[in-house]
Every structure is written in structure tokens, then in C-alpha cells.
Amino acid sequence: MIDYINSRLNAWAAWRCGSGQSRRSPYPAYNLAGTRDAGDAPPRASYVPTSDLECCETDRCVVALCPALRLVVEAIYLHTSTEAQKCEACACSRATLYRRLHEAHVQLLGYLNDLAAGVDVVPHKIRLTA
């Protein structure tokens, strides 16, 4: 498990479930337009919702995963069921579940690096054979 990806997926899961507990940046951004019309008042601090942007990026990357890996990510991070139920939902053993989770973490890290470099993430396409 990659710790950075795990924390991004935990924030993504809270964002997807609408719990409203997605973290906000601890660094205040100052409302410069508000300082002009406020006279000598100090600038008003507001929090930049960086986690919303990060969660949108993470969501894009999760959608780009192949269906088997996406199913594992959604089962692990979005569902509050037992490990056995998650294995059953993903139709795999416990070892395969965690192998797929690790593979998903590696692919997500690559996708996030691609996004940071300006390369678009292409969703996984299901290949149909004739």
C-alpha cells in the first residue's frame, strides 16, 4: 500500500460519500478584492478547497482504472462491509484483493504523476475480441 495514495483515496471516499469531512487547506488565502473596499480592515481569510480539486483528480484517475481494479478500490474505500464481503463482491480471494489494491495504488500514482505533468488520463477501454 502506498501511503500517499491511501490518504488521497481516503479523502476521495469522504468526498464521494458526501460526508463533508474533506480537508481544507490550512493556509489562508486572502480576499484581495475585500481589502480594497474594507478600508484599513485586515484582509479576510478564506480557505481554498484544495481537497475538492484533488478529489476530482483522484476520481478521474479511479475511473481510468480497469474495471477489476476500480471495483477493488471502490469496495475497499467506499463500502463498509467485512473483508469477506468485499472479496465476494470483487469475486476474488483475500490475497488477490490486496494484490489488486496494490496494483491500483501503483497505477493511480502513475496517473496522478501524468496529470501533474500535464498528460491527460485516458479511461481504461474494454477490449472486445472478435
- Please state the domain extents for the chain: 1-19+50-121
Mean per-residue pLDDT, 62-70: 95
Percentage of residues in the chain with pLDDT exceeding 70? 70
Q: Do strands 28-30 and 45-47 pair parallel, antiparallel, or not at all (unpaired)?
A: antiparallel
Give the pLDDT of residue 53.
85
CATH 1.10.10 fits 1-19+50-121, yes or no: yes
0.75 exceeded by the pTM? no
Predicted confidence band of residue 88 (pLDDT cuts 50, 70, 90): very high
Name, of 7-21, 94-108, 115-129, the range with top average pLDDT. Answer: 94-108
CA angle at 8 for the pair 45 and 79, rounded to the nearest 5°: 120
pLDDT in tens, 92-107: 999 999 999 999 999 9
Give the pLDDT of residue 101.
97
Is the pLDDT confidence value at 75 over 50?
Answer: yes
Choice between 125 and 58, residue whose per-residue pLDDT is larger: 58
How does the average pLDDT of the chain come out, rounded?
78
Give the pLDDT of residue 80.
87
